[in-house]
Structure 1
């Protein structure tokens, strides 16, 4: 039921913002940002449940908890970049939005390098044992 409420809130907010678009476009933009923030607060409940599930998984991944940290940071980076890029696109700054998206992709790629190095190190260690 929560999804339906959020969907209705989003559609109603967009319809209201469209009313401002012709006379006061800045109000429509502000209203869109407020709606995004309200929906984000609703999604925090889901994030809490996700974190509880990740903590449960960490029990089974003894010694590999840092990889779960990388995963959560990567998800956070992608969410923040997508959120900011969407706001920039709505404001008419598509080029800025594109740069934010590229920054997010590069950040996730850079975060993955230590994980990839550890995996390759483990593969080499396994392959070199007699």
Structure 2
């Protein structure tokens, strides 16, 4: 099972960070490097798992004859949301909460920019109904 590997990897990284932080000196720097490497490896694994989910969603959209434009926008929004949250949490783990909040803000702005065609289409639909 992949989840057992992920949990074992996370626990190993946590124990390694604890072991490194036990010693003085450069422990915070090495702890942050281990943390960033571990989280990056976990994120790569998670993204590879999401690929199969996106394929299922695309197949369902094709069966329903759904327009790929809107589906692509939705998938991009989901991807930006996950990446922005990942980056923000990584910044906060490194002790940079202010940078993490700016990463979240940038993600929200990018979601708004990408979703603007959908918003415009909804506004046009509403004005046509009135």
Match of 2:19 in 1: 19
Match of 1:73 in 2: 76
Structure 2 Cα separation of the partners of residues 103 and 72 of structure 1: 18
Which 4+ runs in 1 deviate beyond 4 A?
Answer: none
Structure 2 unaligned segments of length 5 or more: list them.
none
Alignment partner of 1:114 is 2:117: yes
Alignment partner of 1:102 is 2:105: yes
Match of 1:48 in 2: 51
Structure 1 unaligned segments of length 5 or more: list them.
none
Q: Deviations over 1:64-108 (max 9, x none)?
A: 211111111111111221222122112111111111111112221
Query: Which secondary structure state, in structure 2, belongs to the residue aligned with residue 124 of structure 1?
Result: helix
TM-score (norm 1): 0.84
Corresponding pairs, count = 127
Match of 1:4 in 2: 4
User: Are the structure 2 counterparts of residues 101 and 7 from structure 1 closer, same or farther at C-alpha, using a change threshold of 3 Å?
Assistant: same
CA RMSD of aligned residues (A): 1.9
Query: Which secondary structure state, in structure 2, belongs to the residue aligned with residue 92 of structure 1?
Result: coil
